[in-house]
Structure 1
Amino acid sequence: MNLCILELEFLSYLDLSFNKFDAIRIPSIHHNITRSSNLLYTDLSLNQGPTLHMDSLHWLSPLSSLQYLNLNGIDLHKETNWLQVLNTLPSLLELQLSGCNLNNFLINPSIEYLNLSSIVTLYLSNNDFTSHFLVDFLISPKISPMLTFTRAIYMGPIPYGIGQLAHIQDLDLSKNQLQGSIPSTLGNLSSLIFLSIGSNNFSGEISNLTFSKLSSLDSLQLSNSNFAFQFDLDWVPPFQLSNLYLAHTNPGSNFPSWIYTQKSLQNLDLSNSGITLVDTKKFSRLIERIPGFLILSNNSIVEDISNLTLICSYLLLDHNNFTGGLPNLSPMALTVDLSYNSFSGSIPDSWKNLRELGLLNLWSNRLSGEVLGHLSDLKQLQHIILGENEFSGNIPVEMSQHLEMVILGGNHFEGPIPAQLFNLSSLLHLDLAHNKLSGSMPKCVYNLTDMVTNHFTPSLGITIELFTKGQDYKYRLRPERRTIDLSANSLSGEVTSELFRLVQVQTLNLSHNNFIGTIPKTIGGMKNLESLDLSNNNFSGEIPQSMSSLHFLGYLNLSYNKFDGKIPIGTQLQSFNASSYIGNHYLCGAPLNNCTIEEENPKNSKLSTKNEDDDSIKESLYLGMGVGFAVGFWGICGSLFLIRKWRHAYFWFIDGVGDKLYVTLIVKLNSFLQK
């Protein structure tokens, strides 16, 4: 981003926000931008590249006509004169410097006062202010006469004198390190419309007295606070809120009774607040009339809401103890998370009309029936999470083409896997494990683009139980994760090589099926693979050498297959223990250590083979001689024993031979003695 664009003489409106710029270039010659006096609006905020930083704001000084400036998200921690720069912008109406790492500033003694009289809106939230100085300076008697704020969002500790800002409408002190109790003078700000003081380290009590004069209050944000709530049970507030955020607070086990009096609530967040008990009638009437956000996640509410029709666009009731059937929903529902409850029964027919639904999470309930037929027409669906229920039926051929997450594990789905699932270009997570699926893997060209390229996707913060690396994890699904789990089904046939070309996949689990065939060499290209489980199948052949280059592989299970040959030598594959390879009877090599000497010394393999052949020939010769001797011996002896004539002739022959030997011996002996 080069700010020489400010040299355009008649430029009045400049918006470069929400891009991916990674650097800002400021013109070196200051007077080059002096003619930009027509510039009224400048927005450089919220770029998604590496953190943008800017060492100086001196380029703002000539922009005397500037009315709106938004630098949210730009790192300004090196700029210590930003207050002085503001003093040079007399026309400024709105300034946004949120999330800019502002944690230091210098005051020029020569400046008598800050000329901030024109500012209507000031956003300095989500920085690192810890000093009282900023707010004290802004509201000190020295400059207070110059302040006519009607909307201001301060960052910094709350001084007692904040009650002087009688006309302030918006006050945001959230996301800092502020401590201490809320001053009673806060209740004097009768013009307040928006109050946000959550995500700090405040302590002490907060009660109906704190809000007794805030009759104009429309939005209240106290989330992530340690206040001790001391509201009277019969208190009726002087205001009617549109927005109430009490997430991660401690209001007590009972649903706060004063909230039931709020007839105009558009958004309610009471998640992670320890709520257990509700007034059934009042609670039902309250949640049925909220059209925006209804967030009650991570409480322990026990209630049957099956007879209600909820009109909210964002419904998050996960991690509670809701029972009975599912509620009816408005056709305008965008996000529905009812996971980790005790809902039962089937999907209501009215859910067929949820045409705008983008996320459906019913993980871990007691639901049943043929759900996917009901949901196949929801063409905007991006995330469908139905795991750990008792759903049944086939996976439909036609599903939303926008699906990024298909989590159907732990049900009773049956039939083949539709080929269309492998043509979802945005798919990141596919979990069909622990079902009754059968047939072979689809033989098609996989168009799972986001499992091949590293495409950025915003995180949803969804937590499920995922079996990876040999264990069950409470797993927070993140945009950079890619998983495929088809384990514990009745799938068969060869696994197509297309599956091993998905190079961004980190978890691949095909275990406990009936797959056959070999592992293709292309698996070596899955450089991001962290967990591979092919156990309990009928895979065969050798383990490809390319697997030794999977340097991120932290879990491997090839046990109980029909692999043979030697485990490829490499640091990675030898780092696993023998349990990763057991049950393959013809597999050898470290860490199994059961290869023979000849197998470990391939150079001697030919000599070894020759020696083995020679030994075999000798063994055959000796065996033949032994058999021949035995046959000849018993053939002659047996004949002599059985045939009398032969026996007599044999003895006559032996007797004659004996006589001849005797005569010959005597003749030889006499001749020797005579000599």
Structure 2
Amino acid sequence: MNSGIKLQVLDVSKNFLSGELGNCWTQWESLSRLNLGENNLSGEIPDSIGYLHKLEALHLQLNRFSGYIPSSLRNCSQLEFLDVGANKFSGTVPLWIWEMRNLHVLRLRSNEFKGNLHQKICQLSELVVLDLANNSLAGTIPKCLNKIKAMAVADPVYNYYLGASRYPKYPENLKLVPKGNELEYKENLGLVKIIDLSSNRLCGTIPSEITGLIGLRFLNLSWNNLSGKIPEDIGALTILESLDLSVNHISGEIPQSLSSLTFLSDLNLSNNNLSGRIPTSTQLQSFDSLSYNGNPKLCGAPLNNCTREEKFNVLSEQAEYESGTSEFYIGMGVGFAVGFWGVCSVLFYIRTWRHALFLCFDNMTDQVYVTVVLKVKWFNAKLRSCMTNN
């Protein structure tokens, strides 16, 4: 046990270990890094793991652990790296996790966590990896995310990989899904700043404050129930490499500022309610139509050309005008017929009006007859006068 007390790094990951963990961690007080990931371990995490007061990194990913994360782990105040992804942990995310001010990496991906994202998440000012994807988290995205200072700095040489200086042979490793494909990061982990909240039940709008995280490289909010518009200042995330907002209820137009993201190499806005024209830029038109499909009111390259759509709208308006014109003439015809037969009906039933009308017609006929006769006589007299003079 004396050797165990002095042990600082224990890495038994990627083996075929099975069974449950023993409740004997009180004897390992010097342990600062514990990696049990990618085995077949099961059961609950024993409370005695909270006695590892010097623990900085804990890897439990890709096992079959269940139950709750023990509250005794809050005693590990130096914890910087917590990865419990791909297990069967359940319940709400413990509030004490949001109070672990030294956390750089929090990966709870692919478990059965539920409940809302607490506002205290914004206290994790050193966080550079927030991966809560594939759970059942609900509620809205906190508006205070811009208080996570480590993500609000666009420093490309942010020196982060836990314990690398003290344990150069054991750099931290982490599997992330930054662009739809799982990748393993080791020495280059210091360059990763990611928020992945995909495949949950989050609702509400995307808070505009998220655009203050100018150091962010990967943002995935897909497969939720988000609504509202894409923040207008999304272009402030100048070094963003991947943006996935697909399968939500986001509406409105694509902000023009999105076209200024020159580092963007992966974009997915599909299956939303976006509308209008896709901003024209070399960047946005470089993505294929799959990035924009499922938005019926969205147009522009690489989708159908907006000019054609506008032409279609003009033709529709013209058709509506012609339809209105034809209805006008039809109305005139019907009105004339109704008026004509109405007058005829009145004359048929009122004898005095009928006699007056016929008398008026007779007088008009007589006047026309007299006028024609006089004109004929005048013309004949004029003709005879011309012939006599000749």
Q: Normalization by structure 1: what TM-score?
A: 0.47
Q: Distance in 1 between the 2:347 and 2:183 partners?
A: 89
* Pair 1:322–1:658, CA change in 2 (3 A): farther
User: Where does 1:55-204 land on structure 2 (aligned, <5 Å)?
Assistant: none
1:612-644: CA deviation from partner (whole Å, max 9, x where unpaired): 7x9988876764454133123134336757996
Matched, 1:346 2:41: no
Deviation at 1:493, TM superposition (A): 1.8
**Secondary structure, counterpart of 1:536 in structure 2:** coil
Aligned to 1:18: none
* Pair 1:372–1:531, CA change in 2 (3 A): farther
**Secondary structure, counterpart of 1:352 in structure 2:** helix
Aligned to 1:440: 140
Aligned to 2:159: 456
Q: Distance in 1 between the 2:359 and 2:184 partners?
A: 101
Aligned to 2:71: 373
* Pair 1:658–1:615, CA change in 2 (3 A): farther
* Pair 1:536–1:642, CA change in 2 (3 A): farther
Deviates more, 1:619-628 or 1:400-409: 619-628
1:182-223: CA deviation from partner (whole Å, max 9, x where unpaired): xxxxxxxxxxxxxxxxxxxxxxxxxxxxxxxxxxxxxxxxxx
Aligned to 2:20: 325
1:398-455: CA deviation from partner (whole Å, max 9, x where unpaired): 3321111000010111112122322222211100111111111223363322223322
Letter in 2 for 1:581: Y
User: Where does 1:382-531 land on structure 2 (aligned, <5 Å)?
Assistant: 382-399=80-97, 400-444=100-144, 446-453=146-153, 454=155, 455-458=158-161, 461-476=171-186, 478-531=189-242
Letter in 1 for 2:83: I
* Pair 1:622–1:393, CA change in 2 (3 A): same
Q: Distance in 2 between the 1:372 and 1:641 partners?
A: 97
Deviation at 1:487, TM superposition (A): 0.8
Deviation at 1:656, TM superposition (A): 9.6
* Structure 2 unaligned blocks of 5 or more: 165-169, 381-390
User: Where does 1:624-643 land on structure 2 (aligned, <5 Å)?
Assistant: 624-637=328-341, 640=344
Higher share in helix: 2
Aligned to 1:296: none
* Pair 1:649–1:457, CA change in 2 (3 A): same
Q: Distance in 2 between the 1:464 and 1:595 partners?
A: 44
Matched, 1:567 2:301: no
* Pair 1:415–1:590, CA change in 2 (3 A): same
**Secondary structure, counterpart of 2:336 in structure 1:** helix
Deviation at 1:669, TM superposition (A): 9.0
User: Where does 1:241-252 land on structure 2 (aligned, <5 Å)?
Assistant: none
RMSD: 3.7
In the alignment, which of 318, 326, 335 is matched to residue 33 of structure 2?
A: 335
* Pair 1:410–1:445, CA change in 2 (3 A): closer
Q: Count how many residue pairs are aligned between Structure 1 and Structure 2.
A: 359
Q: Distance in 1 between the 2:351 and 2:201 partners?
A: 77
1:300-320: CA deviation from partner (whole Å, max 9, x where unpaired): xxxxxxxxxxx8432211112
Matched, 1:537 2:235: no
Identity across aligned pairs (percent)?
Answer: 36
* Structure 1 unaligned blocks of 5 or more: 1-287, 293-310, 601-607
Aligned 8 A contact 1:363 1:464 in 2 = no
Letter in 2 for 1:388: A
* Pair 1:360–1:637, CA change in 2 (3 A): same
Q: Distance in 2 between the 1:390 and 1:618 partners?
A: 65
Deviation at 1:331, TM superposition (A): 3.8
* Pair 1:643–1:365, CA change in 2 (3 A): farther
Aligned 8 A contact 1:470 1:555 in 2 = no
Q: Which has the higher contact order (CA 8 A, sep 6+)?
A: 2
Matched, 1:360 2:70: no
Q: Distance in 1 between the 2:171 and 2:84 partners?
A: 17
Q: Distance in 2 between the 1:651 and 1:343 partners?
A: 113
Aligned to 2:167: none
